[in-house]
C-alpha cells in the first residue's frame, strides 16, 4: 500500500486523482483550505504528520492573465509552494510529482517540445512555473518527477470546454483563436498517467497531453460538433477562426506548444488516447451529470 498526498484537491486534476485512485493507494487529498503550500512551517508539519510515500503537487496559481498583475500571489504558490513541498518531501523521504506547464516554453518552435528543450517563458505564469520546476529539482534532484502538461480540462471546475458550451448556448456566433496550436488534455487521463508514473517510480522531467494536435479553433469546433451530437448545445452557432491579435490578452500565449510524449509513453507502456476521444468521453460525463 502506497500512501499518496495530493495538494490542490479541489482543482480539476486533484478531483480526477481522487476519482481514479488505484487499488493499493491510500490517498490524502488536501485542498488549499486544508493546506496552504506557501506556508513553509505548515507544509513541513503536515507532510511530517502524514508521512506519505509520494506527494502529487496539483496545486497551482493558473490564472494566466491575472498573474501579470498578481505577481506575488503567483510566486507564492508556483515557486515558494513548490519549494516548500520539495523540502518537506526531502525531510520525510517522500517522492514528489510536480505538475507543470507548456507555458515554460516560448512557443517559437515548429516541432513538438522535448523535455530537455530550453525553457523561455513569455509571461509571469510561465516564469513562476519554470522557477518552481527549478526549485523542485534543486532540492530533490533524482527524487522528483516534473510533469508538464497543457490545455487541461475536466467535467469538474471551470475550463475552456465548459466556457465554450455556455457561450454556444447563449450566442449565435463566436470567434476563437486559430493561430495558437497545442494539445488538449483531459484531466482524467492525466491522473491515470500520474499513477502509472508513480507505479514505475519515475523521476526526471516528462511531458503528457492527450494525443494529436489542435488549434483553439479546432478544439472549439469539436466541442460544438460533439456537444451538438450529445444534445448539450441546441442552437446553430457559427465559429469564426480569428488571429491572436484580434483577441488581445494581458499575458502572451505560446503560438506553438505541442509537447512530445514519446519518453513517457515508452516509460509507462501507455500510448494515451486522441484528444477528440477524450473530449467525447468528458462531454458524455457532462451530459450524464
Active centre residues (catalytic): 125
Contact status, residue 201 vs residue 95, Cβ threshold 8 Å: yes
The two counts, helices (H) then strands (E), for the chain are 10, 12
Contact status, residue 234 vs residue 169, Cβ threshold 8 Å: yes
Residue 160: which residues within 8 A CB-CB, separation 6 or more?
151, 153, 216, 219, 220
DSSP sequence for 154-166: -SSS--HHHHHHH
Residue 90 CB burial class (10 angstroms; 0-12, 13-18, ≥19): middle
Contact status, residue 215 vs residue 151, Cβ threshold 8 Å: no
Q: Long-range CB contacts (< 8 A, 24+ apart) of 230-235? A: 230/283, 230/284, 230/287, 231/287, 232/165, 232/283, 232/286, 232/287, 233/165, 233/168, 233/169, 234/169, 235/168, 235/169, 235/172
Place of cell 506575488: 72
Give the span between the Cα atoms of 95 and 116, in whole angstroms: 21
Amino acid at each position: 500500500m502506497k500512501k499518496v498526498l495530493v495538494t490542490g484537491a479541489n482543482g480539476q486534476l486533484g478531483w480526477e486523482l481522487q476519482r481514479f485512485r488505484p487499488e493499493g493507494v491510500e490517498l490524502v487529498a488536501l485542498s488549499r483550505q486544508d493546506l496552504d503550500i506557501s506556508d513553509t512551517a505548515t507544509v513541513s508539519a503536515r507532510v511530517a504528520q502524514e508521512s506519505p510515500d509520494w506527494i502529487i503537487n496539483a496545486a497551482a496559481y493558473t490564472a494566466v492573465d491575472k498573474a501579470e498583475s498578481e505577481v506575488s500571489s503567483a510566486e507564492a504558490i508556483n515557486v515558494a509552494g513548490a519549494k516548500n513541498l520539495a523540502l518537506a518531501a526531502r525531510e520525510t523521504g517522500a517522492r514528489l510529482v510536480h505538475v507543470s506547464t507548456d507555458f515554460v516554453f516560448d512557443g517559437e518552435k515548429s516541432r513538438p517540445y522535448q523535455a530537455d528543450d530550453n525553457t523561455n517563458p513569455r509571461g509571469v505564469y510561465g516564469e513562476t512555473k519554470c522557477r518552481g520546476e527549478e526549485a523542485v529539482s534543486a532540492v530533490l534532484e533524482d527524487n522528483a518527477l516534473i510533469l508538464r502538461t497543457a490545455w487541461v480540462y475536466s467535467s469538474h471546475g471551470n475550463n475552456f470546454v465548459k466556457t465554450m458550451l455556455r457561450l454556444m448556448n447563449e450566442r449565435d456566433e463566436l470567434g476563437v483563436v486559430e493561430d495558437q496550436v497545442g494539445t488538449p488534455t483531459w484531466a482524467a487521463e492525466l491522473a491515470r498517467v500520474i499513477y502509472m508514473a508513480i507505479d514505475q517510480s519515475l523521476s526526471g522531467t516528462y511531458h503528457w497531453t492527450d494525443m494529436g494536435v489542435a488549434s483553439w479553433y479546432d478544439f472549439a469546433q469539436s466541442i460544438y460538433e460533439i456537444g451538438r451530437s450529445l444534445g448539450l448545445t441546441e442552437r446553430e452557432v457559427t465559429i469564426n477562426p480569428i488571429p491572436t491579435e484580434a483577441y488581445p490578452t494581458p499575458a502572451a500565449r505560446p503560438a506553438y506548444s505541442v509537447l512530445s510524449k514519446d519518453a513517457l509513453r515508452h516509460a509507462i507502456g501507455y500510448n494515451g488516447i486522441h484528444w477528440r476521444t477524450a473530449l467525447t468521453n468528458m462531454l458524455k460525463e457532462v451530459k450524464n451529470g
